[in-house]
Amino acid sequence: MVHEYQNLRRVYLGIVIGLFIILVARLAYLQIFSWDTYYRESERNRVRDVVIEAPRGLLLDRNGEIMVDNRPAYSVSVIPYEFLESQSATSLLASILNESSVELVKAVRKEKIGNFSAVKVKRHIDFSVLSSIEEYRLDLPGVFYAVDSKRYYPAGIRAPHLFGYLSEITRDELSQVEDREYRMGDLIGKNGIEIIYEPYLRGQSGVKYIEVDVLGREVRELPELAGSSPQSGKNLYMTIDADVQRYLEKAMEGKRGAAVVLDPSNGEVLAIMSKPDYDPEIFSNPLTPEIWSALINNEEHPLYNRACQSLYPPGSIYKLVLAAAGLETGLIELEETVTCYGSYRLGRRQFKCWKEKGHGEVNLLDAIQQSCNVYFYKKGLDVGLANWSKFSRFFRFGSKTGIDLPNEGSGLVPDAVYFDAKYGVKKWTRGLTLNLAVGQGELLTTPLQMAYFAMIVGNEGTAFRPHLVRKIEDPNTGESIEPGRERRQIVGISKSTYRTIKQGMYLVVNGPHGTGRASWVRGLNVCGKTGTAQNPHGNSHAWFIGFAPKDNPKIAFCVMVENGGGGGAVAAPIARGILTTYFRDNQLALGQ
């Protein structure tokens, strides 16, 4: 056997040597003899993968009007390999973009991943920049511009607190996202609907392969290398009524404040507004420290979402909660009256009513209609802090409503435990209760919570989670999902209590002495409550909440104007505008 093997061994060793010599020879031919041919070729025909961004989903109002759309925009990108090598490219591009070349190079070095992946250096460039880049192509190796898209707002509604905006993903965010779908330079939703519904709105990018020359300029597309088509993001049919929203944009212009309008039958948010706001476009390009600090330090705090993030004392509208607590516990009787002489004395202090001369003898319905403080001061003491806190919590004050917007505030419902902690046990007095009775003091709510409360009263005990999207549609397949409504039953308060409060609210708008008559609408049984919340920094905050019509309400709302003055004078007229706008276009709603 051994001898046979010797022969065989020689044969096969010979074959092996032969094969390897062939390979080595061929490689030497390619890499040594033909090196310059292939090197030149490699300089000429390189392949790049280009990401094709998918169109982002649109936001439409409840009637199908497009509120947030996409529009083509140009952006400038560089391929680090060619760009950083060239002195002329870096300084020329920097001057075209009006930036310092040192900063530009630093940013590219910092953002790049490898030398061959494109880095976006500026988005949404204008035409003059584009034409300069085109003109100086030959001196800008590695620089190219491409079309992508930016958001625009065809319905005339900017509402950055509602919609949010798009901005480039940061390295931190990139590491948190599991999906390899995101790359540096991608836009991601920040704030508002754009961030909450990011997974739906963002489509799936496609990729195509192009051949580029040594300067990184596209030579031709390569269809033979199979790329992939982009998939559009899903469109959101929102619950917003664009007409109401537009009305609020105008009505609140120049003011500071918020408005929230809900459909009480399902919790759909018909409008939500916070002013002042800002131009979301400032976030398209990386913020300079100057712009950012200008925003943060702006005294008007435009970044706050006053509708659901900021907290305010609600003032007189909160008297309704006390009324509910009293009726339910039997500590308030309908016919019982209190005489208001303009102030109430507790200990050594005088607590004023807003009408100097007093309201005279008033029962519950009168007190609600005319918003008498004295009645509620007295009843506040009768009902007591514990009951008041308990019923506040029944109405879900102090908790978030669960709306699909980020950073919702929960508000604050103080109770004995809270005051003990804050002031010390037995170091606080019933005077605090008095303040809370009229919605002042440590009590804090959001306008959203107040609209939610209006919904509860209007529905006589049923609440629905406020939500902003009624349908999510995939434009690629036509399939859609509807999130539907989420019902929550409010316990602890009986129908008769609700009916009484409703009657009081009806009188606020329709009664002869109602403080909210400015929101009266013919043929619509509007119910409401005014609030004028004092605050130490200036004028009172003007509040008005309500719903309409009285039975089976179709709309519930809250309007708040910061430092606006009287609720009846300032906020109620805006509410009227909401109602006329909504019902003018909704004959169906009025008919019922």
Partner 1 sequence: MSAIRNFDVGLVIAVVLLITFGLTAIYSATYVGEKQTEFTKQLLWAVLGLVVLTAVVVTPLKSYYKNAYLLYGLSVILLVVVLFVGKGAGTRRWIALGPAWIQPAEFAKIGTLLALSRYLSNEHRKLDNLRELTVAFAIAFVPLALVMKQPDLGSALVFLALVLPVLHWAGLSPAILFVLLAPLASLLSAFNYYSFLIVMILLSVTFLLCQRGLTFFLVNFIINIGVGILTPIVWNLLKEYQKNRILTFLGLVRDPHGLGYQVIQSKVAIGSGGLLGKGFLDGTQTHLRFLPEQHTDFIFCVIGEEFGFIGVFLVLALFFYLVVKGIRISTSVKSKFSSVVVFGATIIFLFQIFVNIGMTVGIMPVTGLPLPFLSYGGSSLLANLILVGLILNASRKRFEYL
Which residue's entry shows tokens 């529009």? 71
Least distance CB 107 / partner 1 (angstroms)? 16
For the CB of residue 74, give the shortest distance to partner 1 in the complex, in Å: 24
Give whichever of 22 and 481 is closer to partner 1, judged by the CB atom. 22
Cα–Cα distance between 581 and 589 in angstroms, integer?
12
Give the span between the Cα atoms of 516 and 592, in whole angstroms. 24
SS3 74: strand
Distances in Å between the alpha carbon of 139 and those of 47, 82, 87, 223?
Answer: 21, 11, 10, 29
CB 501, CB 457: distance < 8 Å: yes
Q: How far is the CB of 75 from partner 1 (least distance, A)?
A: 20
When the beta carbons of 145 and 209 are compared against partner 1, the nearer one is: 209
Q: Which is nearer to partner 1, 82 or 328 (CB)?
A: 82
Task: Provide the β-strand partners of residue 557.
Answer: 261, 546
Nearer to partner 1 by C-beta: 4 or 253? 4
Cβ–Cβ under 8 Å, residues 411 and 446: yes
CB 47, min distance to partner 1, A: 4
Instruction: Report in angstroms how near the CB of residue 5 gets to partner 1 at its nearest.
Output: 4
Least distance in Å: CB of 41 to partner 1? 5
Q: Please list the alpha-helical segments (H only) found in 330-441.
A: 364-370, 373-394, 416-423, 431-437
* Comparison of 112 and 467: residue with beta carbon closer to partner 1: 112
Residue in the structure block whose two tokens are 């680090």? 80
Nearer residue to partner 1 within complex by CB, 24 or 294: 24
Residues in contact with partner 1 by CB under 8 A are: 1-2, 4-6, 8-9, 12-13, 16, 19-20, 22-24, 26-28, 30-32, 34-35, 37-39, 41-43, 45-49, 81, 113-117, 175, 180, 184, 209, 224-225
The two structure tokens encoding residue 382:
């009768």
State the minimum distance, in angstroms, from the CB of residue 85 to partner 1: 12
H runs (alpha helix) in 424-554 = 431-437, 447-459, 495-510
Cα 47 to the chain's mean position, in Å?
41
CB-nearer residue toward partner 1: 50 or 332: 50
Toward partner 1, which CB reaches closer, 217 or 488?
Answer: 217
Query: Over the Cα atoms of the chain, what is R_g?
Result: 33
b/e burial code for range 373-386 (CB count within 10 A of at least 16 → b): bbbbbbbbbbbbbe
Task: Give the CA-trace dihedral at 576, 578, 584, 590, to 10 degrees.
Answer: -80
CB closer to partner 1 out of 220 and 427: 220
Minimum CB distance to partner 1 smaller for 38 or for 292:
38
For the chain, what's the residue count?
A: 592
Sequence-separated contacts (24+) of 433-437 with Cβ below 8 Å: 433/380, 433/381, 433/384, 433/385, 433/388, 434/344, 434/346, 434/351, 434/377, 434/380, 434/381, 436/318, 436/380, 436/385, 436/388, 437/319, 437/322, 437/376, 437/377, 437/379, 437/380, 437/381, 437/383, 437/388
Tell me how far, at minimum, the Cβ of 317 lies from partner 1, in Å. 52
2 or 588, CB closer to partner 1?
A: 2
Least Cβ distance, residue 12 to partner 1 (angstroms): 6
Query: CB of 286 within 8 A of CB of 99?
Result: no
Number of H helices and E strands in the chain, helices first, is 21, 23
Instruction: State in angstroms the smallest separation of the CB of 43 from partner 1.
Output: 8
The count of other CB atoms within 10 Å of the CB of residue 414 is: 22
Looking at the Cβ atoms of 12 and 152, the one nearer to partner 1 is 12
Q: What is the C-alpha to C-alpha distance for residues 469 and 240, in angstroms, rounded to an integer?
A: 8
Residues whose CB is less than 8 angstroms from the CB of residue 136 and which lie 6 or more positions away in sequence, other chains included: 92, 96
Give the type of residue at 361: E
What is the smallest separation between the CB atom of 106 and partner 1, expressed in angstroms?
18
C-alpha angle 233/78/189, rounded to 5°? Answer: 30
Kindly state the smallest distance separating residue 46's Cβ from partner 1, in Å: 5
Q: Which CB, 4 or 335, lies closer to partner 1?
A: 4
**Could you tell me which residues come within 8 angstroms of residue 33 by beta carbon, excluding any fewer than 6 positions away?**
none
The least CB distance from residue 274 to partner 1, in Å, is: 38
Q: How far is the CB of 273 from partner 1 (least distance, A)?
A: 41
Q: Which is nearer to partner 1, 45 or 101 (CB)?
A: 45
Tokens coding 246: 């537009």
